[in-house]
Amino acid sequence: MNSNPLTLTFSREHQCDQLTRTLHLTLGEHSTLTVNQDVSDFNAEISKRVIAVADIQDVGYLIATTFTQATTLQLCIDVDIAARFERQQWLKWLSFGLALSDYHYRHSNSPLLTPTLADFTLLNADASDNTAFENGKILAHSQLIARELTNKPGNILYPQSFVEAVEALAINNIELSYLDDAMMLKQGFGGLMSIAQGSDREARLLCLDYHPQDPKFTVALVGKGVTFDSGGISIKQPRYMSTMKVDMGGAAAVVGALNAIAQLQLPIRVIGLCGLVENMPSGKAIKPGDVVTMLNKTNVEIITTDAEGRMVLADVLHYAQQHYQPDYLVDIATLTGGTGIALGKAYASLMGNDNNLIANAQTAGQACSEPLWPMPTGGMFTTALESDFADLRHGSEEPDGSPCVAATFLEHFIQPDQKWIHIDSAAMSLGMNHRKIYPKATTGYGTLLLTELCQQLILQDQLHQ
């Protein structure tokens, strides 16, 4: 049995001083994960006793941000710790953490994105090691795209400028198109356009299509993109309204994931659909009690205009099924405050109609440190959607089970044979500073998860061939 530590060496580019730091990753007192070095009393506990992917990411970030003058970082990982993950996993997630270490959001009056990666090289590596290390960089860059989008304020990033920012990325192997107000009104996007009508800014439906030759199957990823959510006529309390620029976190995650999927050249077709609106109060805005005809011709009674995201998602989910017939349909949204109340910042909630897809999503979340917790739909939650004036209501006046009620509403727009899951990431897009890789601002939550889910589905497909 090999008793030697796993030793990995990283070189930081563009440094003048030739300085090497040798660091040791061990289990310290009380079994906490500890980084220390030979030449000083530096000693840092990383996080928790159970070593997870999140800890590997944080180790990479920590050593890069602590030893900023070192040209070379040599990390020696105790054999007992190293054995808990495959070598390629260590390399991918250490690379991810290292690459994030130079990122600081800097405000600009331009919607264009400027994600900055720290430039590290893996030394003494073979081809498979280098591939894993480069994949970590791809994931870091993709997550930073999502973080840049969610960090932008609402006066700079609105539906049209969101499209322009993504166009400027010029992602290889991605075909970009969009629908504007006139196109969506003509096609009958009653739900999405009912939310957009209160704003002076036009809505957009952005489509990113990654279509390799002979794809094994098709996945559609749908993201909620409310670039600012005032609550509309049912206006929000002012305490947290400034953070409502992150209500397009689902759409940002879809863009980040499509970037990663295209760069990793996954052998499947992936369509990213971002429903982009601004939810504002005005004389034109939708009101509680109004009835809206959705894209699938369902008449929906509005209970509160602050439950806008599900109206956007419902139309886009229907559009995705009608136009692309995906094998798997996934939506992600900062949808309900109830998810954060129930799960805090430990998990996003997960709901859907296919147990196998739900299980794959949970596995993916665990594998990339963006975990999910399943919740129910249907049953008693259907009662909350019963309306005296329309086919159904879009929510309830009561907060009870709000994530489940919202998902049950969305399920009404899913065809019976369509495999679908819904991810409510409301608490996960901001304020995750218990993680070292997220010291400030937004997280880009969902980018890794959606990418990993697609990879899990590919593995499943290979096993069943």
What per-residue confidence (pLDDT) applies to 41?
45
What per-residue confidence (pLDDT) applies to 225?
99
With the CA atoms of 306, 307, 310 and 313 taken in that order, what torsion angle do they form, in degrees rounded to the nearest 10? 0
**pLDDT of 193 higher than 60:** yes
What per-residue confidence (pLDDT) applies to 434?
84
Residue 69 pLDDT class (50, 70, 90 cuts) = confident
Residue 26 pLDDT class (50, 70, 90 cuts) = confident
Whether the Cβ atoms of residue 287 and residue 223 lie closer than 8 Å to each other: no
Supply the residues annotated as catalytic. Answer: 236, 310
Cα 135 to Cα 93, 165, 246, 259, 427: the distances in Å are 9, 24, 27, 12, 27
**pLDDT of 324 higher than 70:** yes
Residue 436 pLDDT class (50, 70, 90 cuts) = confident
With the CA atoms of 255, 258, 259 and 262 taken in that order, what torsion angle do they form, in degrees rounded to the nearest 10? -160
What per-residue confidence (pLDDT) applies to 147?
98
**pLDDT of 443 higher than 80:** yes
What per-residue confidence (pLDDT) applies to 28?
66
User: Is the model more confident about 68 or about 15?
Assistant: 68
Least confident of 408-422, 428-442, 448-462: 428-442
CA distance 139 to 332: 18
What per-residue confidence (pLDDT) applies to 47?
45
What per-residue confidence (pLDDT) applies to 14?
57
Residue 16 pLDDT class (50, 70, 90 cuts) = very low
Residue 19 pLDDT class (50, 70, 90 cuts) = confident
How many C-beta neighbours within 10 Å does residue 31 have? 11
**pLDDT of 194 higher than 90:** yes
For the stretch 33-58, pLDDT in tens is 667 665 444 455 554 456 889 999 99
Q: What tokens were used for 195?
A: 């939310």
Whether the Cβ atoms of residue 76 and residue 23 lie closer than 8 Å to each other: yes
Average of per-residue pLDDT across 184-189 = 98
User: Is the model more confident about 435 or about 303?
Assistant: 303
Average of per-residue pLDDT across 252-270 = 99
Residue type for position 197? Q
> What is the assigned CATH class of domain 153-463?
alpha beta
Percent of the chain residues topping a pLDDT of 70: 94
Mean pLDDT of the chain: 93
Q: Where in the chain is the domain with CATH 3.40.630.10?
A: 153-463
CA distance 289 to 169: 41
Least confident of 4-8, 154-158, 443-447: 4-8
Residue 240 pLDDT class (50, 70, 90 cuts) = confident
Residue 173 pLDDT class (50, 70, 90 cuts) = very high
What per-residue confidence (pLDDT) applies to 317?
99
Torsion sign (Cα): 209, 212, 213, 218:
negative
**pLDDT of 128 higher than 80:** yes
Whether the Cβ atoms of residue 454 and residue 215 lie closer than 8 Å to each other: no
**pLDDT of 246 higher than 70:** yes
**pLDDT of 1 higher than 60:** no
What per-residue confidence (pLDDT) applies to 146?
98
User: Is the model more confident about 36 or about 433?
Assistant: 433
Least confident of 37-51, 180-194, 328-342, 391-405: 37-51
Please name every residue paired with 271 in a beta bridge, in sequence order, or none if there are none.
Answer: 209, 220
Average of per-residue pLDDT across 289-300 = 99
